[in-house]
Copies of this chain bind each other. A is one copy, B any other.
Amino acid sequence: MVKQVASIVDVAKLAGVSIASASRVLSGSSYPVSEETRQKVLKAAQELNYVPNSLARSLRAQRSNLIAVLVGDNADPYFAEIVRGVEDVANDCGYLTIVCNSDRKKEKELNYLRILQDYRADGVIFAGGALNEPGYPAQLEKAIKSMLDRGAAVVTLAQHTLQVPSIQADNFAGARAMTQYLQQLGHRRIGFVSGPTNVTVANVRLQGYMAAMVEAGLQIDPGLILSGNFDQASGEMAAQAILQIPPEQRPTAVFAANDETAFGLLSGLGRLKIRVPQEISVCGFGDLPMAQMVVPALTTVHIGLRELGRAGARKLLAMLHREEVPPLEVMPTHVVPRDTTTSPSVASSALKMVDTP
């Protein structure tokens, strides 16, 4: 049996006051109300178990207090952390968080944007980068334009085709710093397992690696740049590929463009009986929670993913409050040395001596 919920009219009636007075009390308006009236209203509301109808309030106020976070897949730990950060801030500020999985498919993303427009979502956070499908930038631009026209706010947490305020991890500096860390450990032949070529952050990380190599006066060996796909499988394949390289040309360290690839590298090398870090050092990028759980614990570049989500949400809310926000903010990243990296082994060092006498 469905019982009707009490509305503000019922409360006003029971309290013996006007609807307006009831509203003024119940909505927390600053409009003056006599203490007596206030008490009567509160008592009636309590008695009727009154709950305000946010739908009606939103319709009236032209703002929904709903924000959305658009991710490739919320079960991917990278996005999971961001979503958590967003939700934290949203919850604190009285917003509800809608999670939207696009699977990096244009259709799903655009469909969600349409629905969010229908619901008058106050803001949208793009956690991932731009998609690489034909017609994407233009269609997205159009969808976003109508949201902005409506007064909604949009923020991205990665490089994007969208010209909206953004906050991003410093992928370039992070990759460069990690490469330098490996160099300081004594590595010269440093491999890199790239990410998908159509994902911008993957390319930026590759650039950081290359910059550090060039700066250290080391030649970039195309044979040491393996193509990956940001997933574990591509890490395993990279491990196989490394085994194919003649021992004297083999890298003494491999830097994966993200943690998942590094995990694949770890399991692939383990299967091939190549010990990490004794025979080869491995590192990743991202510092997912499980990076410290695997054995040996993964050396990686730390991104404060949860903090990125929080900062993104804060930025969005600031925009909703019509505050000025910088168009681009960069979050620092840093190397976290753990157990998968060490100085190159004696054998390798000996070889290295031969290489660079």
Contact = CB atoms under 8 A, between A and B. Distances in A.
Interface stretch (A95-103, A155-163, A248-256): A95-103
A16 interface: no
Nearest to A84: B75
A64 B55 contact: yes
Contacts of A264: 293
A230 to B, nearest CB: 14
B59 A53 contact: yes
A35 interface: no
B117 A51 contact: yes
Interface stretch (A144-152, A165-173, A178-186, A349-357): A144-152
A267 interface: yes
A24 to B, nearest CB: 18
Nearest to A56: B59
Interface stretch (A37-45, A188-196, A294-302): A294-302
A46 to B, nearest CB: 13
Interface string A219-236: 000000000000010000
* A interface secondary structure, majority: helix
Given A59-B55, A64-B55, A87-B99, A75 B306 contact: yes
A151 B77 CA distance: 35
A75 B80 contact: yes
A114 B83 contact: no
Nearest to A116: B96
A52 interface: yes
Contacts of A81: 75
Counted per complex, copies of this chain come to 2
A2 B120 CA distance: 13
Contacts of A112: 91
Nearest to A103: B88
Contact of A77 (B64, B75, B115, B232): B75
Contacts of A149: 2-3, 5
A290 interface: yes
Given A54-B119, A146-B51, A74 B77 contact: no
12 contacts: A52-B118, A55-B55, A55-B64, A74-B74, A74-B84, A91-B100, A91-B112, A96-B119, A232-B293, A263-B290, A267-B297, A270-B296
Interface of A: 2-3, 5, 49, 51-56, 58-59, 64, 73-75, 77, 80-81, 83-84, 87-88, 91, 96-101, 108, 112, 114-115, 117-120, 146, 149-151, 232, 260, 263-264, 266-267, 270-271, 289-290, 293-297, 306
